Amino acid sequence: STMFLVGLSGGIASGKSTVVAVLRELGCAVIDADVIARQVVQPHSKAHQQILQHFGTEILLENGEINREALGNIIFSQPEKRRLLNSITHPEILKEMLKQVLKYFVLGYRYVILDIPLLFETRGLTRFMKYTVLVYCDPPTQRERLMKRSGLAVAEAEARISSQLPLDEKRKWATHVIDNSGDRESTRRQVLRLHARLEDSLDFLWARLAVGTALAGFGGLVFLLIRHFIS
């Protein structure tokens, strides 16, 4: 039997956090790429030092952490800077994600959910996913929720939404869609149905081999997998 990976994504104000909350209530293994992205740039980390080298100390907060808003303003208007930042952070994020996947592998989970905001934009990681899930809501609802949540005017909300790949475009690439245009209970029922389908899948993880693998040289396997993911 084999464990499999499920990629989860959405769009700004589409309600992905609501879906993740339900999945966590169900006891699912969820790896949050955004959380990892913040962890790998903490002070004294390899990525933190490289970012300071290229972007300067003016992007630091008083406590030494990176000011995400200041850095975001730089990379938003300068694509080459964005590519540079990605080249620094992405290998570290992938290594940490792999560590967590291996942890759930050993614990025997049937599947692991990778919560990746730009899963469909980058497309590179989708080839590792057995299934991909999009949290969708219709454009008017998305705009209204964003305006309410962030206190934005219509034009500002539309500008932020248009900076991302449209949800209708992402639907073409997703194997499963959770429509979050309605109320929370409707969304919850869809998540429960999805979870039931995934639990019934025959694509069970490699968990049964985990103990034997560890005894036979788990460290070597980790090294080879890390090289594969970041090469």
Counting residues of the chain whose pLDDT is more than 90, the rounded percentage is 72
Residue 201 is predicted with a pLDDT of 67
CATH classification code of 1-29+112-200: 3.40.50.300
CA distances from 3 to 65, 124, 209 (A): 36, 20, 11
Read off the pLDDT of residues 2-23 as tens digits, 9 standing for 90 and up: 799 999 999 999 999 999 999 9
Residue 72's pLDDT is what?
85
pLDDT of residue 2: 77
Return the exposure string of 80-95: e unless at least 16 CB atoms fall within 10 Å of the residue's CB, then b: eeeebbeebbbbbbbb
Average pLDDT over residues 31-58: 95
Identify the residue with better confidence: 218 or 130. 130
Report which of 8, 13, 31, 6 is spatially closest to residue 164, judged by C-alpha positions.
13
Domain boundaries, the chain: 1-29+112-200, 38-108, 205-230
Q: How confident is the model at residue 207 (pLDDT cuts 50, 70, 90)?
A: very low
- How many whole angstroms separate alpha carbon 135 and alpha carbon 22? 13
- The predicted model gives 83-101 an average pLDDT of 94
pLDDT at 144: 96
Structure tokens at 221: 């396997």
Tell me the average pLDDT across 124-146.
94
When pLDDT is cut at 50, 70 and 90, the band that residue 114 belongs to is very high
User: What is the overall mean pLDDT for the chain?
Assistant: 86
- pLDDT over 60 (residue 230): no
